[in-house]
Amino acid sequence: MIGFFTRAARPEDMDAIAALSDEAFGLAFNSRDESRLIRQLHADGDSLLSLVAEADDGSIVGHIEFFRILIDGEPLAAGLGPMSAKPGLQKTGIGSYLVRTGLEELDILGETLVFVLGHTHYYPRFGFDAETARTFTSPWSGPHFMAIRLAEGGPDSGTLTYPRAFG
């Protein structure tokens, strides 16, 4: 376990975030698409919250992205992803800390719904479930498509529009 703290990502962090994403997703899925996605979300102004985990030596060892999702054309939800933790330091709690911190901040900002397309072994521990997402029409469906309701008041159904970066 290393010492780290979380903070908002800054524009000058982008190259380090992209390198971390390429390392993590490259190792796990042989994919580098996620760093392009992160860069485009930021360039398009569609990033809602971008957090990094900074280690004591100043290096970035974790990153999480949240972006705007429209429900029936209204800015009523957030999406989680991509996220990554540095290979070699994975499974030490960095990812969990970033998810929990991000959800707390979104709650404070007044967001009520967060969607994720991801590992069914990972996201339910934070409160995400497929049942909450099932009533929404989106490009995705099935067990990997999950949502968490942070507070009452958001819509129960509707059509989701993802940012342009998702194609």
Closer to ligand COA by Cβ: residue 28 or 109: 28
User: Phi, psi (5° rounding) for residue 73?
Assistant: 85, -5
Closest distance between ligand COA and the C-beta of residue 72, in Å? Answer: 26
Closer to ligand COA by Cβ: residue 120 or 155: 120
Closest among 51, 46, 45 to 10, alpha carbons compared: 51
Q: Is 95 in the site for ligand COA (CB under 6 A)?
A: yes
Radius of gyration of the chain (CA): 15
Considering only 2, 14, 16, 96, the residue that binds ligand COA (CB under 6 A) is 96
Closest distance between ligand COA and the C-beta of residue 98, in Å? Answer: 8
Q: Is 129 helix (H, G, I), strand (E, B) or coil?
A: strand
Dihedral angle of Cα 75, 117, 23, 96, to the nearest 10 degrees: 90
Closest distance between ligand COA and the C-beta of residue 38, in Å? Answer: 12
Q: Is 140 in the site for ligand COA (CB under 6 A)?
A: no
Joined tokens for residue 52? 């990094």
Q: Is 94 in the site for ligand COA (CB under 6 A)?
A: yes
CA distance 154 to 107: 12
**Is-contact 102 116, C-beta < 8 A?**
no
Residue span 8-47 as binding mask against ligand COA, x where in contact by CB under 6 A, dash where not? ----------------xx--x-------------------
The residues binding ligand COA (CB under 6 A) are 24-25, 28, 81, 83-85, 90-96, 118-119, 121-122
